[in-house]
Amino acid sequence: ATFIINPGFVYVHGLAGFMHLTVAVAVGFCSMLLILSFRFRRLGEASKALTMPHWIGNRYQSKWFALYFAVVNLFAVAFVVLIVGGLSIVMQQLLGLSNVLSLVIIIGFVTGYVFLGGTYAHVFTNTLQGSLMLLVTVVILASGVHLFFEGGGFFTRIAEINPHLLAWINPESDLFNSLFSIYFSGILIGAALVCQPHILTKALYVKSDRAVRQYLIFGILALILFFLLPGAGFYALLTVPPEQLVDAASGAFRQDLVMTMYVKNAFPDWLFTLIGVVLLAAGMSTLDGILVSLSTITANDFVVTVMEKFSPTPRSEEEQLALAYKVSHVVLVIVALAAFLICLDPPKLLGIFGQVGVYGMAVAAVPPLLSGVWFERVSLSLMWLASLAALLVHFLLYFYGAALFPDSGLTFANPGVTASLAQLVTALPALVVEGMLGRAKGEGNRIKDEG
């Protein structure tokens, strides 16, 4: 999303979009990563947790709560669609292929090596692809430096296109037109995004606090660089005319094309090809992480748990692992097929489509994760209520907020706004109640309510 999709939001919404996606989200994301990673790893090590639902189930001593989060995790399919659709755009421009053939290649390749290698392949491909992504990020950010010294000035030329593109709050934007929609919601949703399974569980990959510290130092430095990449949308404003962003199939303007067309215009063919390959690697790096997480969680924490609940005879640990392995492959194929079918006729804005699902998954996890990490004794029933309410509020406001509250002035079309409001009315009160009940200094990790 950062590499391929988000520059389009800056192209359309200007500085307001940049401040939301880059500055506000980065502040929230990096801050929450620092806050949660150390204790999350320690608690995960103590309980031998391997996935987010597994961690939550152990922390709250409730298999049903773990099962619920395994279901919530399926919202990550929306992000799979976002990434696959974005990669298809790059491949179509890079190789001149059709959307269908591009989808077949992307989904077939990534699914194949995850199918064969799983987490082992995921770790090593992430290392290589991450290094390439850093290099290309620097190249792309440097490619537009000359624009600051040409034609009367960088910002002057953007202002001539539309002065609102340089406004800290863009009154013409349907997504970023207030302090809350740009800054407050950006920080809140950035913090919530750390609660995605494929993000926070990275802390479970390492074996000590020292290793977590190293991972955070290098990870946050790289993230800061990556978060600057949507700024290429400003470069595109001066180099990519809107007529180049027309979808060949529908004839409609498509902002998701911005980054690909900028790179195509800014670099010679050989370098565009090289950067295009790395952009594909960037997307595939994220995609394989999500597929590993999604298939593992669905298999281990949903299917196997349900089968064990209703199985007449208990299975040994070896049999459970074998079953989970087989089920994870089936889930992988189903998710890949679903992404393929949706991307045959992709959503108008891939970024918004992905955000709606991913933000829902994140806000549902915020109350139990924060309470589980910060408080010694936690209330299971309170966390059930807060998590379910967060999901309900987010989706209700996104789909019906404009009709229910027409005079609120809130941009319900921005999933970051609806997800942030969901956090404010669920996670915040839940944490306050936990604190008021004096559980922070309770002994052990015993659960107050039903387990």
Indicate if the pLDDT at residue 189 is higher than 90: yes
Name the amino acid, one letter, at 35. Answer: I
Q: Write down the pLDDT at residue 299.
A: 76
Mean pLDDT, range 398-403, rounded to an integer:
95
Distance between CA atoms of 186 and 147, rounded to whole angstroms?
Answer: 28
Q: Name the percent of the chain lying above pLDDT 90.
A: 45
Indicate if the pLDDT at residue 226 is higher than 70: yes
User: Do 62 and 380 meet the contact criterion of CB atoms below 8 Å apart?
Assistant: yes
Residue 377 phi, psi (nearest 5) = -110, 130
36-59 per-position pLDDT tens digit? 888 777 766 665 666 778 888 888
User: Do 190 and 37 meet the contact criterion of CB atoms below 8 Å apart?
Assistant: no
Mean pLDDT across the chain, nearest whole number?
A: 85
Mean pLDDT, range 213-218, rounded to an integer:
84
Q: How confident is the model at residue 440 (pLDDT cuts 50, 70, 90)?
A: very low
Copy the structure tokens of residue 164: 């609102």
Give CA 200 to chain center in angstroms. Answer: 11
Distance between CA atoms of 307 and 305, rounded to whole angstroms?
Answer: 5
CA distances (Å), origin 321, targets 46, 103, 327, 334: 20, 31, 10, 20
| Mutual angle of helices 63-72 and 380-404, in 10-degree steps | 30
Question: Picking from 34-38, 135-139, 351-355, 409-413, which range would have the lowest pLDDT averaged per residue?
Answer: 34-38
Indicate if the pLDDT at residue 289 is higher than 90: no
Q: Write down the pLDDT at residue 84.
A: 93
Indicate if the pLDDT at residue 163 is higher than 70: yes
Residues 6+ apart with CB under 8 A from 403: none
User: Do 146 and 154 meet the contact criterion of CB atoms below 8 Å apart?
Assistant: no
347-363 per-position pLDDT tens digit? 888 999 999 999 999 99
Q: How confident is the model at residue 422 (pLDDT cuts 50, 70, 90)?
A: very high
DSSP string for 8-57: HHHHHHTHHHHIIIIIIHHHHHHHHHHHHHHHHHHHHHHHT--SHHHHHH
User: Do 298 and 70 meet the contact criterion of CB atoms below 8 Å apart?
Assistant: yes
DSSP string for 328-362: HHHHHHHHHHHHHHHHHS--S-HHHHHHHHHHHHH
Copy the structure tokens of residue 72: 């919530």
Q: Write down the pLDDT at residue 443.
A: 46
Tell which wins on pLDDT, 157 or 63.
157
User: Do 97 and 267 meet the contact criterion of CB atoms below 8 Å apart?
Assistant: no
Tell which wins on pLDDT, 105 or 305.
105
For residue 405, give the DSSP letter.
-
Mean pLDDT, range 125-146, rounded to an integer:
84
Distance between CA atoms of 423 and 426, rounded to whole angstroms?
Answer: 5
DSSP string for 234-249: HHHHHH--GGGGB-TT
Q: Name the percent of the chain lying above pLDDT 70.
A: 88
> Around Cβ 443, how many Cβ atoms within 10 Å?
7
Q: Write down the pLDDT at residue 444.
A: 45
Most confident of 19-28, 295-304, 366-375: 19-28
The class that CATH gives domain 6-349 is mainly alpha
Name the amino acid, one letter, at 320. Answer: Q
Rg (CA), the chain: 22
Helix-strand-coil split of the chain, %, nearest 5: 80, 0, 20
How many helices (H) and strands (E) the chain has is answered by 20, 0
Distance between CA atoms of 31 and 80, rounded to whole angstroms?
Answer: 25
